[in-house]
Amino acid sequence: MSITLDRIFNVSLVGVGGQGILLTSDVLALAAMHAGLDVKKSEIHGMSQRGGSVISQVRFGARVHSPIIPDGQSDVLVSFERMEALRFAHLAKPGAKILVNDMDRIPVTVSSGLQAPVEDLDRRLAAYSGLTLIDANPLAIKAGNLRAANVVLLGALSAFAPFADEHWQAALRERIPAKLLEINLRAFAAGRDAVR
């Protein structure tokens, strides 16, 4: 079953290398394709496995041109840890949904004292009206594996994206290895329940 959209829907996913951002955005883009939409998924992952910041953007609609979302135009911003949410908050539309995994990955330059930590992270994040913190790590462990925290966040995102359950199911089955599917389906459902 296809859906129609009268505008481009924009999702930015940000975090740290190794957190499963690229897989998450793959599933999102596949869901858009299964929903019969044009889609572009753009990511910068040259240094992704070395602990650097990672960003992936997914856009879908009737016809998508630019792979990059204009600043301030993301309908949903998903951040896989807290500080990256602040770094990329300007990508979100004013008042847009900002879904953040409630955990911190401290950069080595901060832990070793070369850079100062963010001052007042709690308050600065809370200034964004669309902010929702999600305990993705404990929910993933409960679903069967900490590594499924990315799919918990995807489940949370699914509550704000215009796809039917069949589109998500098809995308998840296409991208996730069969032996890990059950855990990830549980993680997805847990994420969705967490924001309802």
Candidates 60, 35, 7; CA nearest to 164 is 35
Residue from 95, 116, 122, 177 binding another protein (CB under 8 A): 116
- Kindly indicate which of the ranges 23-31, 150-158, 159-167, 177-185 contains the residues binding another protein, using the contact rule CB under 8 A: 23-31
CB proximity list for 12: less than 8 A, separation 6 or greater: 55, 56, 57, 69, 74, 76, 77, 78, 88, 91, 92
> Using the rule CB under 8 A, is 62 a contact of another protein?
no
Least distance in Å: CB of 118 to another protein?
A: 6
Residue from 13, 21, 92, 151 binding another protein (CB under 8 A): 92
Please list every residue from 155 through 174 that binds another protein, using CB under 8 A: none
Residue from 2, 6, 70, 122 binding another protein (CB under 8 A): 70
Q: In sequence order, what are the beta bridge partners of 100?
A: 79, 133
Least distance in Å: CB of 114 to another protein?
A: 6
> Using the rule CB under 8 A, is 4 a contact of another protein?
no
Q: 186 by DSSP, 3-state: which?
A: helix
Candidates 182, 148, 130; CA nearest to 12 is 130
> Using the rule CB under 8 A, is 177 a contact of another protein?
no
Q: How far apart are CA 22 and CA 43, in angstroms?
A: 8
Q: Are 47 and 112 in contact (CB under 8 A)?
A: no
Least distance in Å: CB of 183 to another protein?
A: 19
Residues making contact with another protein (CB under 8 A): 16-17, 26, 29-30, 33, 38-47, 49-53, 64-72, 83-84, 86-87, 89-90, 92, 94, 106-119, 124
